[in-house]
Homo-oligomer: A and B are copies of this chain.
């Protein structure tokens, strides 16, 4: 009695995520996608309405995951350094658990139609704002150095957690937690030994 073949639609989205991430959105044809699922190109349209619908849904799915991971941290009472550590862990975990859709998210959002494009842009601003607020709070409370430029600090943190989509391999020895702990340690403590001499000049 269920008219909507929901699992099939999810299979399509999974395959689309993989193909879009490997070959790119425009280089993936609907016939390629159908072939992966053992069907003919036209048959896809019994389950979806357009190619772009797939891209929109993949990108939205990824956005939602980041949202859920980070925004539940907003009211967290921990001190800012512990909170930053936790945020980085959650952020990297979303990337690691969704390598395909995360890759599509970072690479193919430019190909969205204007409305969806604007939504993604707005969402990015929200993530930026989250990290900037966290860092601002940390500076105010003395957990971070007062000389820090908030925007640049947020960019540095975002670089670390986002760029993971290019090198992280889910099957490997490093769990998302390991990556986050190491990155957080390096960012919080710095690469230089404690009490090291001033940087020598050339």
Contact = CB atoms under 8 A, between A and B. Distances in A.
A186 B148 contact: yes
Contact of A187 (B84, B142, B190): B190
Contact of A82 (B107, B111, B148, B202): B202
Interface string A163-202: 1101100000000000100110011111111001001111
Contacts of A108: 24
Interface string A133-173: 00000100011111011001101101110111011000000
Interface residues of A, number: 52
A200 B193 CA distance: 21
A21 to B, nearest CB: 9
A179 B155 CA distance: 10
Contact of A200 (B82, B84, B148, B190): B82
Contact of A23 (B85, B110, B146, B162): B110
A143 B196 contact: yes
A26 interface: yes
B152 A179 contact: yes
A188 B182 contact: no
A78 interface: yes
Nearest to A182: B152
Given A152-B179, A163-B163, A186 B187 contact: yes
A192 B110 contact: no
A153 B24 contact: no
Nearest to A183: B156
B152 A183 contact: yes
Nearest to A76: B202
A200 B108 CA distance: 40
Contact of A191 (B25, B26, B148, B164): B148
Which 4 A-B residue pairs are closest in the complex by CB-CB distance?
A190-B190, A159-B163, A26-B26, A159-B159
